[in-house]
Amino acid sequence: MKMKRLGIALYVLVVLSLVLTSCAPAAPAPAEKPAEEEVAPTPTPVPAEEVKVELQGPVPYPAGKPMPGGREPIKYNIDELVQYKALPEYHQPAWMDKFVEEGILPPVEERLPKEPQVIPKASMTDGIGVYGGLWRDFSACPTEGWNLGAGQTQGWFGINIIYEEALVVSGPIFMRKDKIEPLPNLAKSWEWSEDGYELTMHLIEGAKWSDGEPFTADDVMFTWEDIILDPNVNSWTSRTSWQIDGQDITLEKIDDYTIKWTFPVPFPVQKLFDMDEYDFYVVPAHIWKPLHPKYNPDMDYVSFEKAWPPDKLPPVTMGPWVAVEYKTDEYMVLRRNPYYWKVDEEGNQLPYLDEVYFEKGSTGVGRTLGTLAGSLDHTNLENPSTFLETLKRMQEPDAHFYVEWGPETLAFSLHVNQSATLGVKTDRDRELRKLFRDFRFRRAVSQAIDRDGIAQAIIRGPFLRAWPGGLYPGSPYFDRESVVYYPYSPETSKALLAELGFKDTDGNGILNWTTGPLAGQDLVISLVANEDQEASVSIAEALVPMLGAVGIQVNFRPMKPTVIGDMIISGEWEMWVSRGGQEYAVPFTRARMLAPIAKEYPAWHREGEEPRQLRPFEEELVRIVSEFALEPDSDKRKELMFEYNRIFTENIYDIGVVIGRYGLALAKRFKNVPVGCPTFLYQWTWANCRPEQIWVAPEDQLEQLRPGVIPIYEKE
C-alpha cells in the first residue's frame, strides 16, 4: 500500500515537472476576484506593478462522458411504486406454518395491518418472487447497540437501514417520475391545509412491532417529544433541525393513527426529507419509555443510551429482518420479521429472503474482497483503486456478480477551515484563518492542483475527472453553465501568492510570511485525510508536491475517521481531504447543509460559541438556500441552484479535486433489483433497492445459516 501511494506521488511529480517546464496554457482574459469576498488584512499586498503574470481563467467546464455499463433508471408513478390496501388473502413461507399451529404466532392475516403496504408488480423488475434464500454482506463498523434513537449505530453498511423504519423513505426517489418527494412508509398518506401551514399525516393502522406490540401515533409522539426534542438525547436531529427562520415546527397527535404538523411558513415541502431514514427513525415507545430518565428515576441519559447492548437479542423493530445472533467483531445473523407490514399484490408477506448475514471486519475493503472471492453478495465501488480489479473479476466466467455504474456523485474535495474563531488558539491559527478566508489564497491553491493528473494517477481510464467543487455533475440540479472553473495554472497560483505578500526570503523553496506576527516564518499548513478512504489519502499525498511547487509546505497525516470527526467539531484543523456527502448530489433533501444556516454546516465553516462571521457571498448563499428549501416549484428550485452553484464556484467556497461514479456490485442471482439502482444518491444501496422485494430462484438459493429460526421475545 505504501509503495502504491509513493508511486502516485512520484507520478504526480513527473507530471508536474513536465508542466512547469513547458509553456503556460493559453486561457481567456483574467477574471477579477469576486467583489463580495472578504480579503485578509495581512500579509501586505505586493504593489501591482511587481505582479507580471497574467492570471489564467475562468474557462468552460468540460462535459463528462458516459460510463459503459450504466443504465438509466426506469421511473414510475407513485401508485406503481407503493399502495396501501386490504387484499382478499395473505400468505407466508410454508416453513412458518408450524409456528402458527403451535400458537407461537397468530395467523399471518392477524399479524398484518388493516391495509398493509403493497409493492405492485408494475415496479418489480422481475415480478412476484418466491420465498427462501439469503443475502450475504459485510460491515466494517462496530455495532454499538440498538438505541438508534439515541445515536447508536448498529454497524452501518445496511444494518441500520434494516433495523430502522421512518415516516417516509427517500432511497427509492430515483424511481419516481411524478415528483421529487419521499415515498410514504409508516405514514401512508398526507395532505396540506389550504393555507399550507398544516400537514396532516395518516399512519398505517394495525401494524405491529416485531414483538407483536401495536404500532400507533404514541410511538411517533414519544420519538418526537422524548428523543428528538430532548436535548439530553443524542438523536439524529434536534430542535434546531425542526425550526424555520428560528421559529419552531410543532407536532401533535390527533388520534391513534393521525398526527398533525404545524409550520411557521406555508408549504415547506422540503421538511418531508427530515422525516425520512436516519432523520426520523420511529422508536418503540413500549420499549424505550420505561428506560427513559423522564419516566424512570433510576435511569440517567448515559444508561438510557446504553440500555440495549449489541448482544441483547432480538431487538424490537419494524424492519424486514431482525438480528437473532451476533458475535462481536465476527458476524451478525438477521432473520425475517414475522410481523413485517408489507406484502406484494398477491398477498405474499414480505420479505422474500429468509435471512441476511453480515460478516464483520475492520475496513470496507473486506466487502469488496469478499465479493470478488464469491463469499459475499454486494459491495459499493467507492474506492477507485479497486475498480479495475473488480471489473476484471466480473468478466471471468465464474463471477457471481455484475457491476452497474451510477451518476457522477463520487466526489473528493480539499477543504480549508474558514472559521474566523472556532478552534483558533494562537497567532498562527488566527493568521491562517485570515488567509483561508481570502479568495485569492483559495484560488491559488485551486489552480496549483493538476486535477486531471491526479485522476489518472489514482486510476487510469475514464473513471475520474477534474471537478472544481459545488454541485455534483450527477445531481438533478446540476447545470454545467453554472460552473465557474479556474484551470490548472501554477504560474497563476504563484502570482496570487505574491500578491498576498508571500516571498521566499530565505531561499529554501518555501514562501515566507513577510509581515504580521508570523513574519519570516515558512508558509506551512497541516493536512489530514480519512485513512479508511484510500482515494482521499492518495489525493492528499499527491497534493503535497503540487502545493510545494508553488511554495506552500504541506504536512500530511492520515487519521482515523473518529479523530477527524472530533477535529471538525472542535475546529482544530487546517486542511482536510474527504469524500463528499449527499447534499451536493440531491440538495433538496439536505438543504440545511448547503450554506451556513445550521451551526454544524458546512463542515469548513462551523459555528462555535462565538457567532459565525459570514462574508457577503455566504450571506447570499444563505438567502438562496433559504428560498430553495421552501420553494415548491421544481423549475424555480433549479434556477436557484444555478445561481447557488455559480456563486459557490466563483468564490471557490470549497475546493473540489476529482469526480467519478460509484459502482454497484450485486449478486447475479438477485431478482427485482431496480434498473439503474444507484449506490449512492438519496441514500445508500440498502435503502435504494427496496431489499424486502429482492428474491432468488429456488435453484440459485444458498444454504442458510439459521434455517427455520424466527425472533422470539421473552414476555415479562
The dihedral through the CA atoms of 101, 103, 105, 110 has a sign that is positive
> Taking the model in full, what pTM does it have?
0.80
Q: Mean per-residue pLDDT for 546-552?
A: 98
pLDDT in tens, 634-664: 889 999 999 999 999 999 999 999 999 999 9
CA distance 651 to 469: 11
CA distance 175 to 78: 9
Residue 632: pLDDT over 70? yes
The pLDDT assigned to 21 comes to: 34
pLDDT in tens, 672-688: 999 999 998 889 999 99
Is 168:187 a contact under the CB 8 Å cutoff? yes
Beta bridge partners of 558: 529
CA distance 677 to 663: 10
The pLDDT assigned to 39 comes to: 43
Q: Mean per-residue pLDDT for 351-367?
A: 93
Work out the number of other CB atoms within 10 angstroms of the CB of residue 230.
20
The pLDDT assigned to 634 comes to: 81
The pLDDT assigned to 638 comes to: 94
pLDDT band of residue 382 (cuts 50, 70, 90) is: confident
The pLDDT assigned to 27 comes to: 34
The pLDDT assigned to 9 comes to: 42
CA distance 455 to 463: 8
Amino acid in position 444: A
Q: Is the peptide bond between 58 and the residue preceding it cis, with omega within 30 degrees of 0?
A: yes
Question: Is CATH 3.10.105.10 the right assignment for the domain spanning 407-660?
Answer: yes
Is 658:451 a contact under the CB 8 Å cutoff? yes
CA distance 331 to 157: 13
pLDDT in tens, 216-232: 999 999 999 999 999 99
Residue 264: pLDDT over 80? yes
Q: Mean per-residue pLDDT for 444-448?
A: 98
Q: Which of 18-22, 348-352, 557-561 has the highest mean pLDDT?
A: 348-352
> Which region, left, alpha or beta, applies to residue 140 given φ > 0 means left and ψ of -120 to 50 means alpha?
alpha
Closest Cα partner for 603 from 627, 575, 628? 575
The pLDDT assigned to 50 comes to: 52
The pLDDT assigned to 716 comes to: 61
The pLDDT assigned to 692 comes to: 98
pLDDT band of residue 45 (cuts 50, 70, 90) is: very low
> What is the 3-state secondary structure of 40-86?
CCCCCCCCHHHCCCCCCCCECCCCCCCCCCCCCCCCECHHHHCEECC
pLDDT in tens, 127-178: 999 999 999 999 998 899 999 998 889 999 999 999 999 999 999 999 999 8
Classify domain 78-377+669-700 at the CATH superfamily level.
Periplasmic binding protein-like II (3.40.190.10)
Q: Strands, E, within 567-668: which ranges? A: 575-579, 655-667
* High-pLDDT (> 70) share of the chain, %: 92
Amino acid in position 568: I
Q: Mean per-residue pLDDT for 478-489?
A: 97
* High-pLDDT (> 90) share of the chain, %: 78
Higher pLDDT, 287 or 3: 287
Is 73:175 a contact under the CB 8 Å cutoff? yes
Q: Which of 153-162, 234-243, 560-569 has the highest mean pLDDT?
A: 153-162
pLDDT in tens, 178-204: 888 999 999 999 999 999 999 999 999
The pLDDT assigned to 37 comes to: 44
Place of cell 462551523: 606
pLDDT band of residue 508 (cuts 50, 70, 90) is: very high
User: 485, exposed or middle or buried, with CB in 10 Å at 0-12, 13-18, 19+?
Assistant: buried
CA distance 542 to 464: 15
Q: Mean per-residue pLDDT for 486-512?
A: 97
Residue 48: pLDDT over 60? no
pLDDT in tens, 14-38: 333 433 333 333 333 333 444 444 4
Spans of all domains in the chain = 78-377+669-700, 407-660
Q: Which residues of 23-43 are buried (b: 16+ CB within 10 A; e: fewer)?
A: eeeebeeebebbeebbebebb
Q: Mean per-residue pLDDT for 306-323?
A: 96
Closest Cα partner for 208 from 380, 383, 337? 337
Is 341:208 a contact under the CB 8 Å cutoff? yes
Which residues lie below 8 Å from residue 339, measured CB to CB, with a gap of 6+?
111, 207, 208, 209, 210, 211, 212
